[in-house]
Chains A and B, each alone.
Chain A
Amino acid sequence: MSATYAQDFKENSGRMSQDLTHRAVIKKALNAYELKRDENRSKYLDWQEARQAAAEIKWEAINHLDRYLLEMTEKLEARGTKVFWAANAEEARNYVIQLSQEKKVKSIIKSKTMTSEEIHLNSALEKLGYDVIESDLGEYIVQLNDEPPYHLVFPAMHLTRTQIQAIFKNKLGSNTSDQPEELTMVARDIMRQKYLTADMGISGANFGVAETGMISITENEGNARLTTSFPKIHVALMGIEKVLPKLGDLALFLPLLATAGGGQQITCYNTMIGGPRQKEEVDGPEEFHLVLIDNRRTELLSDTEQRDALHCIRCAACLNVCPIFKSSGGHSYGTTYQGPIGSVITPHLRGLQDWKHLSSASSLCASCTDVCPVKIDIHHHLLHNRRNAVSQSPVWWEKILFIGFSAVTAFPSLFQASLKVARFFQPLHGFIKGSILDPARAWTQTRDLPEIPAKSFRQQWKQRS
């Protein structure tokens, strides 16, 4: 199994990194993002201290997670919310399915939620005949195109307007130009009646608030507001790590998420929802269900070294600066959460041996750690995963290799001798370089080893003095 995931990744990332059109599309999109991000980041009186404060707040929440979750859910339940605690993906899916069956739901409208991708909710609902539609424009485009989101925040960033025009033409029969305005209006027109007629709206939650019992949703399009306004039933999916202690904490986290995630000072809509429609209110869902999802997050919680990976607010800032993401592309990962943070947490969520290869696909440049708004030590966690993978299941030939290497380097004379041997054999290596006979072909296929000089530095030094 592990060989398959790793092989897929190797093949796909190899192919994608040679796709220059793809790289140009991604580069253009991310350059624009970087400019906006830097502009808005520079407005902060102290960005670094803001990050530090956010990290400390998340630390407080995660390290007292039981207390804050209880506080949040008690407050929510007091105002008529039904809270469901799901230990794994299956429980979460089954709850939504059973609820849909009980309430005789036919059509479901969704606003963006990566947690639903994580538990594969759409395919489960569609298999049972439910009409499920993604309302976020990017999500809608990739849904029509039958592919998973390419990126945590920009799901369709890999597609050009011409490709999107073709998707709309094939799937919707629409006859528009390739102008982004026109394409956006196609989706807008289709979606408007859906908001009003869907029986159930499913959303995610960017934050939970313990103090007041609320969820907070960050978006730009207004689709989450509409999804949570008109359908009779609102279901929100939330990972257990999303809770913040205080309502006022959002005064820091909302702008931080917007700046790190989209290069904005604040996104267009930041909406806090604290229950279904209340007595004196004129509209809103009759029922509000919050599905709290563990799905192995508690396993990550028990790893004290990497516990701070649960601080993640899914802003995707680390994807946007990652050289591996930029050249391999989001789909190559084969995971729900792409990029550096995905490489850190996927081994915890889906198994270390199956997904350890992602932690090796890194240049350890640490750009991810640099930009993380909650200061997760991402690149060190990639190293931790590598170490853990090897100590859990050592590779015998690597072990022998390293025993040999340490023996050679421990004795200068042995090292000198082996250099001489290597210098003699190096020209012969040219005959098998990169071929099936070459034991180091994974490396040498695309790289040249510099020629070993006739005299080493030490020898030259000795001669000079």
Chain B
Amino acid sequence: MEATVMNDSKDLILRRIREALKTPAPVPGGHDYSHAETTPSRPKPELDNFRQWLPKVENDFNSQWSLVTKSFNALKTDFGLLDSPTQLIDFVQELQRSENWKRIAFHRGALVTPVVDSLQTEKIEIKSGYDCQDLEKCEVGITECDAIIAQTGSILITSRSAGGRGLSALPPHHLILARPSQMVSDLPAAYELLYQRYGKDYPSMISFITGPSRTGDIERIVVLGAHGPKKLTVALLKD
């Protein structure tokens, strides 16, 4: 393979770019660019400042919780807030009964392991070298997550926290077990968390999941379950 690697045009493209950039372009800010230098100084377009412009999120837990439940409802994410580990197990077992799970796939974790141990079904643990055809036959994929974003009702997962790339995307139901304390206010906060948690070595896949898979490609009518999970459930165990 190495022998036939094609030569690419890296040098040519970089040369073209540098040649083009010799002439500076006016900075954005209206049609009359000459005033750009003198306009009142605005906050720099940086992560710390995005919050001033994006949809507002209050600082206290209760308002963030009511915001996130509103988003969950609007985007058809099911959720439960559970008081104790027993309640969490009951919650998941009830899901199993109502959906008649025969085969589940999961990624081990402090929250997931006890719950999965309590289920009487065929279980596939997602670890190195799993067979994707086995995963395809599972009715549900159970994972943990990195964070819940109040602003958008999104769940932040990575290939490290949620058992790779396929487990949260292929089974028709994605069940996420989390703690309410994993809630962060908004997208800027979620990115700060990513910097802090993974800054030295990022997982190869990071994803914000907001609701079950959907499409509007036929007459702009929303249909759930296009290719990814048809159902998304978040079960939160109180800290």
Q: List residues of A whose CB falls within 8 A of some B CB.
A: 25, 28-29, 32-33, 43-47, 49-50, 52-59, 62-66, 69-70, 79, 83-87, 91, 94-95, 98, 102, 135-138, 141, 154-157, 159-161, 164, 180-181, 183-185, 187-188, 191-193, 195-196, 212, 214, 220-223, 225-226, 228-230, 240, 246-252, 254-255, 262, 265-278, 280-284, 292, 294, 298, 301-302, 304, 307-308, 311, 375, 377, 380
Q: Could you tell me the distance in whole angstroms from the C-beta of A63 to the nearest C-beta in chain B?
A: 6
Instruction: Considering the complex, give the chain A residue whose CB is closest to the CB of B126.
Output: A282
Partner of B152, one of A141, A220, A265: A265
Q: Is the CB of A91 within 8 A of B220?
A: no
Knowing A44-B53, A59-B25, say if A282 contacts B203 (CB, 8 Å).
Answer: no
Q: Is the CB of A221 within 8 A of B221?
A: no
Q: Is the CB of A283 within 8 A of B219?
A: no
| Secondary structure call for the A interface | helix
Q: Could you tell me the distance in whole angstroms from the C-beta of B11 to the nearest C-beta in chain A?
A: 8
Partner of B55, one of A43, A62, A193, A225: A43
Tell me, in angstroms, the Cα distance from A268 to B216 when the chains sit together: 12
Q: Is the CB of B217 within 8 A of A138?
A: yes
Q: Is the CB of A141 within 8 A of B53?
A: no
Instruction: Considering the complex, give the chain A residue whose CB is closest to the CB of B187.
Output: A251
Q: Could you tell me the distance in whole angstroms from the C-beta of A205 to the nearest C-beta in chain B?
A: 14
Tell me, in angstroms, the Cα distance from A47 to B221 when the chains sit together: 27
Tell me, in angstroms, the Cα distance from A251 to B228 when the chains sit together: 23
What are 7 A-B contacts defined by CB distance under 8 Å? Answer: A52-B45, A59-B27, A154-B220, A161-B218, A185-B225, A247-B191, A248-B191
For B207, the chain A residues whose CB sits under 8 A away are 225, 269-272
Q: Is the CB of A246 within 8 A of B47?
A: yes
For B190, the chain A residues whose CB sits under 8 A away are 251
- Residue B60 is within 8 A (CB to CB) of chain A in the complex: no
For B55, the chain A residues whose CB sits under 8 A away are 43-45, 255, 265
- Residue B78 is within 8 A (CB to CB) of chain A in the complex: no
Partner of B49, one of A25, A53, A59: A53
For A270, the chain B residues whose CB sits under 8 A away are 207-208, 210
For A276, the chain B residues whose CB sits under 8 A away are 204
Q: Is the CB of A262 within 8 A of B216?
A: yes
Interface window among B2-10, B92-100, B115-123: B2-10
Partner of B219, one of A29, A59, A62: A29
Q: Is the CB of A137 within 8 A of B215?
A: yes
Knowing A268-B210, A282-B126, say if A302 contacts B23 (CB, 8 Å).
Answer: yes
Q: Is the CB of A308 within 8 A of B25?
A: yes
Q: List residues of B whose CB falls within 8 A of some A CB.
A: 1, 4, 6, 8-10, 12-14, 16-21, 23-29, 31, 42-43, 45-47, 49-50, 52-56, 71, 107, 126-130, 132-133, 136, 152, 154, 159-160, 163-166, 169-170, 186-188, 190-192, 194-195, 202-221, 223, 225-229
Q: B27, B192, B207, B209: which has the most chain A beta carbons within 10 Å? A: B207
For A69, the chain B residues whose CB sits under 8 A away are 14, 17
Q: Is the CB of B50 within 8 A of A53?
A: yes
Tell me, in angstroms, the Cα distance from A409 to B42 when the chains sit together: 47
Q: Is the CB of A53 within 8 A of B53?
A: yes
Knowing A65-B17, A161-B218, say if A278 contacts B203 (CB, 8 Å).
Answer: yes
Q: Is the CB of A301 within 8 A of B21?
A: yes
Q: Is the CB of B209 within 8 A of A45?
A: no
Nearest 3 pairs of A and B residues by beta carbon: A222-B228, A248-B47, A53-B45
Q: Is the CB of A154 within 8 A of B217?
A: yes
Tell me, in angstroms, the Cα distance from A332 to B142 when the chains sit together: 47
Knowing A135-B227, A226-B169, say if A301 contacts B214 (CB, 8 Å).
Answer: no
Q: Is the CB of A283 within 8 A of B24?
A: no
Knowing A222-B226, A246-B47, say if A283 contacts B130 (CB, 8 Å).
Answer: yes
Q: Is the CB of A102 within 8 A of B4?
A: yes
Q: Could you tell me the distance in whole angstroms from the C-beta of A60 to the nearest C-beta in chain B?
A: 8
Q: Could you tell me the distance in whole angstroms from the C-beta of B15 to the nearest C-beta in chain A?
A: 9
For A281, the chain B residues whose CB sits under 8 A away are 128, 159-160, 164, 203-204
| Given A262-B216, A301-B21, 14 further pairs, Cβ under 8 A | A50-B53, A56-B27, A66-B17, A66-B21, A137-B217, A196-B136, A223-B227, A226-B170, A229-B165, A230-B132, A248-B47, A269-B209, A282-B126, A304-B26
Q: Could you tell me the distance in whole angstroms from the C-beta of B30 to the nearest C-beta in chain A?
A: 9
Q: Could you tell me the distance in whole angstroms from the C-beta of B138 to the nearest C-beta in chain A?
A: 13
Q: Is the CB of B152 within 8 A of A229?
A: no
For B20, the chain A residues whose CB sits under 8 A away are 298, 301-302
Q: Is the CB of A54 within 8 A of B45?
A: yes
